[in-house]
């Protein structure tokens, strides 16, 4: 049994997963910023919707290329994109941010 090659292959998979989680977390934070949602708004909304669940949904999302292209445009967003698995969470956070600002 060759444990060395398994460890190296496993390390590569771990790095790939870590990179994907890091990228998707940046996308979630940027999506929130573009919608005018602060981290405080998200934490308050997390009591109901689950910020951790949103991060996991983002990390597992298959639309990361579309998300990356959307966020590369640098413009504000009126609403989360239809493909976003966190659309309801982000909309709830944005509504809360708007209601607390007024």
Could you tell me the pTM of the whole model?
Answer: 0.63
Q: What is the tens place of the pLDDT at every residue in 14-70?
A: 788 788 888 888 888 898 888 888 777 777 766 555 777 888 888 889 998 999 999
Note the pLDDT tens digit of each residue in 66-99. 999 999 998 888 899 999 999 998 898 888 777 7
Closest to 36 measured CA to CA, from 96, 99, 94, 88: 94
- The sign of the dihedral angle between the CA atoms of 85, 40, 100, 30 is negative
């Amino acid at each position: 049994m060759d444990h060395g090659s398994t460890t190296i292959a496993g390390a590569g998979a771990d790095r790939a997963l870590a990179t994907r989680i890091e990228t998707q977390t940046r996308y979630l934070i940027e999506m929130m910023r573009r919608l005018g949602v602060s981290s405080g708004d998200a934490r308050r909304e997390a009591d109901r919707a689950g910020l951790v669940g949103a991060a996991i949904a983002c990390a597992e999302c298959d639309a990361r290329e579309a998300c990356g292209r959307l966020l590369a445009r640098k413009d504000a967003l009126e609403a989360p994109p239809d493909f976003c698995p966190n659309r309801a969470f982000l909309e709830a956070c944005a509504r809360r941010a708007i209601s607390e600002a007024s």
